[in-house]
Chain A
Amino acid sequence: MKPIIVAAALAVVFVALPHTVYPVFATTVLCFALFACAFNLLVGYSGLLSFGHAAYFGTSAYVTAHVAKEWGLGVEISILAGLLASTLLGAAIGAVCVRKHGLAFSMTTLASAQLLYFVFLKAPFTGGENGIQAVPRGQALGLLDLGNDMNMYYFCLVVTGAAFWVIYRVVESPYGEVLRAIQDNEPRAVALGYNVTLHKWMAFVISAAFSGLAGSLKAITLQFATLTDVHWAQSGHVILMTLIGGIGTLLGPIFGAALIVTIENFLAGTGAWVTIITGVIFVLCVLGFKRGILGELMNMQLFRKRTADRAARSRQI
């Protein structure tokens, strides 16, 4: 499928979406889709499973909420402040974690995230269990009133669309190729002369930055930042979304995020069944759809680009 067709189809769906479903729900889907895509950059394309990504999502949410509410600096500066905070945090934590491999890497990321959770629990500016509430939405570029849910959605769509395009370009670039090479066989990449640690660190920083962007957008959309955003369950949440959608596919995380957020919101009326249903889907994906739901679909013969090539080659012979 040519990328431009996919992009056009996605654009149509997302532009029409807030007219069919509740706009704030659609905006939340966008935020978590961005979070999942950022996480996928690390786990799907670099092979680094981080258990502590909530740290960047939550830090950015708190910084954005604080700057927007207490300093009153407007939506653009608040989002940039949150983005800066999560990028710097990602750079610092990444520098420590990226030197480790496999399980040690995952555990160090989890430990850093938990450390940050307890810092936020105690820090006065976060409001502890109450969280930072009543974050103003403000006006985008002084023109668009973001208090209107539709405007908020389209603003978010533009930002996440741009972010997703950047992630796409990173993945399809020579740098992305090197990341995949490192994921496939790290010793060979080292032997070829690549600075593996630097490449992994850069992937970590980019992933942390976009996770932070997702957190900032969420803080402005829902108008609060709470401990839920830095809790380890949020790290698990993003792993769940990415895994179900399809690790290592570009669109899988978007699908996974949409599915999980939809289940949580619209099946909440079933009471405690929500978590059971989510769990069952997760188990099915781990057992049956190892590439994630979207990953498996794309792997099927119908969508294989190589089918046509194979037919062409067999004719030649």
Chain B
Amino acid sequence: MSEESLSSSTLEERLEIANPQHPHCATVLALDISGSMQGDKIRQLNEGIRYFKDDVASDDLARKRVDLAVVSFGGRVEVSQDFASVEDFDPPTLSADGGTPMGEAILKAVELVRRRKQTYKEMGTDYFRPWVFLITDGEPTDMKEGDELWTRAVSAVHQGEANREFLFFAVAVEPADLETLKKIAPPERPPLQLRPGRFKDMFLWLSKSQQRVSASRVGEQVPLEDPTGPEGWAEIDTI
């Protein structure tokens, strides 16, 4: 302890801190692990998740503030990892198989976010606007445009964004149906198309973005690094 802080320790020691908690940022990764992801893509996805965890955990603030959950969808929807602090997050090793129940996965991710915010409120924890980060290489096989599940899932995304409940990002991995994904993603945030082989760069961007949010403070929009620059990991379809 420095001499300076020793001289003030009497008053400092007498103060009781009201809410000794960090504010938290809840992030859900909604990951397509359907059969088409087999091989190199699922390997890169698994490596990317581990890399993301390690990079976020290397930042002092983000390590204490980011809470992570994983919803996987391949054949069925599964909460592969319920919310945990990034320090306690155990990256699942995902296997690819089955169809693409994206509609149910979106609803599950939104439900997880809502429950997490309720937990924060009950604990008196400050929190940032949560993120849902959807990665898919296909098109939904559990819903078609206009059917009941489609209406519920798309409405959950669009209204959730409009009501500022969360931030929803969609990433299309080749050969994803970008046209369908554009209808699912929020109008104000169209889907990004992952450039081939750039999983790790995408997860690095996500990690840096989470670190920026963790350090952001009141009143701010958090400026994110543009992922679509010449060296970026993504493209945005302008058509």
A binds B: no
A residues neighboring B (CB under 8 Å) = none
